[in-house]
Each structure stands twice: as C-alpha cells, then as structure tokens.
Amino acid sequence: MKNIYELKPAHVTKVIKENSITNTFNFKLKNQNEFKFLAGQFMMIGVPGFGECPISISSNPKDSTRHFSLTIRSVGELSGKLNSLKVGDNVLVRGPFGNGFPEVTKNLILIGGGCGFIPLRSVFEENRNRKDIKLQVLVGCATQDSLVFKREYLKIKNKHDFGLILEHETMPGFARQKGFVTDLIKKKKLLKDAQIFVCGPEVMYKFVAKELLAKKVDPANMFFSLEKRMHCGVGVCQHCAIGTKYVCKDGPVFSYDFLKLSKYL
C-alpha cells in the first residue's frame, strides 16, 4: 500500500534567484524517472528540525521525469531555511498532492496576483506551444522588485497576449499604469471561449471574480487555486477545511460554483 506520509529525499540540482526573498529550485528524487504530477499540484517539503510546508510545483509536468521545480518565498523560519539551499543539498518531500487544474480544452487565461503565478507557470509551460488554443496571461504585483519569473514574462510578452500591472510603480515597456490585476481585467479584451485559472492572495479572489462576471465570463469556466494554512496535507487534520471540502485533498483548485456555494466568494 502507498504510504502518504512517507518522506523521500530529494537533492537540489539548480537554483535560480527570482528576487531578494524568492528562489526557484530544481529538485531530483532518487526515482525521478517514475515521478509524475499535474499542473496545480503541490509538494510537502521539509527540513529536519524546521518542519514541513506545502509549495506548489512550478515546472512543466512534461519534464517531470527529469526534475520538479519549487519557487519558494522566505516568509518565516522554514521558508527562510529552504531559501538557503544550495546545489547538492538534500530535503525531504512528500507528494505530489491535490487535484491540480482541470485539463485545458479551450483558450486559456491565466491570472496571477503577487506570487500567484507560481502554480500557473506549470500550466503555462505545459500549454505554451499548443497551436489549437490561444493563451492570455495577466499578472499583478506590488513592485518590480517583488516580481517572480521576470525574465520569463519578457518571453511570454513576445509570443502571447500578456499584461502586467504594478501596485506602486510603472515599468517601462510593461506596466504603463499603476493598479491591481482587476484594473488589467477591466482594461483588457479577454480571450473568448476560454478557461480562466486564477491564483493569488486570498483577498484578491472576490474582486477578480466580480470583474470577470462583469465581463460576462461564464462562471463554469472559472477556477481558483487556494492557499490555506496546512498541517497534514492529506485530509486528516482538518486545518484547511472550506465548506464541505479540504483544500489539501479536494483542492487546492476549486470551481467558481463551489466557492460561491461555500460563501467563499
């Protein structure tokens, strides 16, 4: 029987600095060639003596047999410790956990706030070269310095419909106006017949949903990835309950309809 609590050692194969408090790490497991995940799933990652926490997988699921990436922001003791990892260092991981985003069957709009593009990057990477759909990416962040994947946004902008807005400053060539991601949604012509995947700080969801509805988006196409504080990560401790479901086991991705019914939106 598969043991969901089993910790597996993984070692760091690459570190990419995203900003002063965030790095993207590539990890390799002993049996990496057997590893599979869905875009939107997360890993529980830990260091002995520091505990463990959930982190979304940010790499392309198609590269899963070579490595998986985690993009980690330092906000406390554990995430700070994880951000000091160097190539060759070891950690302990469990997963992948969660449901992930639904299969992409139409045009795709990705909306990320703050660090919210982390799981969306995995979806983007998986679908970026498809000829049968169009991609639109809208990102909102506080400042240039707090952006993650800055270099990648340059490439996305050259090939796809891309919008970036910063709360506190403008950014030549990218963000001409200050504001929130909801201001971008208001301003942009959204792709028609599209699934919309959203990830960002909890406070943003209600406002994003409101703007999308104002633009006559079909609620059945809207999906939100939630970040709740977690302990077990596998539906046992009840720390992450939302309505009748657990974010760790049934989520982190939920439909608009479920979140509306649960009075979350």
Residue 253 CB, shortest distance to ligand FES, in Å, is 14
Residues 147-186 that bind ligand FAD (CB under 6 A): none
| Strand stretches in the chain, DSSP E | 8-19, 22-29, 42-47, 51-56, 68-73, 90-97, 107-113, 135-141, 161-166, 194-199, 222-225, 241-242, 245-246, 253-255
Q: How far apart are CA 52 and CA 59, in angstroms?
A: 20
Q: Which stretch binds ligand FAD (CB under 6 A): 121-129, 155-163, 206-214, 224-232?
A: 224-232
Closest listed residue to residue 241, CA positions, set 226, 257, 256, 255: 226
Residue 228 CB, shortest distance to ligand FAD, in Å, is 5
Residue 232 binds which of ligand FES, ligand FAD, none (CB < 5-8 A, kind-dependent):
ligand FES
- Site size for ligand FES, by CB under 6 A? 12
Site string for ligand FAD, 20-49 (x = CB under 6 A): ----------------------x-------
Residue 71 CB, shortest distance to ligand FAD, in Å, is 5
Angle at 122 between CA 190 and CA 179, to 5 degrees: 45
Q: How far apart are CA 246 and CA 237, in angstroms?
A: 10
Q: Which helix (H) or strand (E) holds 186?
A: helix 181-187
Q: Is 230 in the site for ligand FAD (CB under 6 A)?
A: yes
Buried/exposed 117-126: b ≥16 CB within 10 Å, e otherwise: bbbbbbbbbb
Residue 235 binds which of ligand FAD, ligand FES, none (CB < 5-8 A, kind-dependent):
ligand FES
Q: Is 76 in the site for ligand FAD (CB under 6 A)?
A: yes
Residue with smaller CB distance to ligand FES, 137 or 232: 232
Residues 210-249 that bind ligand FES (CB under 6 A): 230-233, 235-240, 246, 248
Q: How far apart are CA 176 and CA 171, in angstroms?
A: 6
Contacting residue, 26, 60, 71, 136, with ligand FAD by CB under 6 A: 71
Q: Quick one: tokens of 66?
A: 């070579």
Separation of CA 88 from chain center: 25
Contacting residue, 24, 56, 107, 122, with ligand FAD by CB under 6 A: 56
**Which residues are at the interface with ligand FES (CB under 6 A)?**
230-233, 235-240, 246, 248
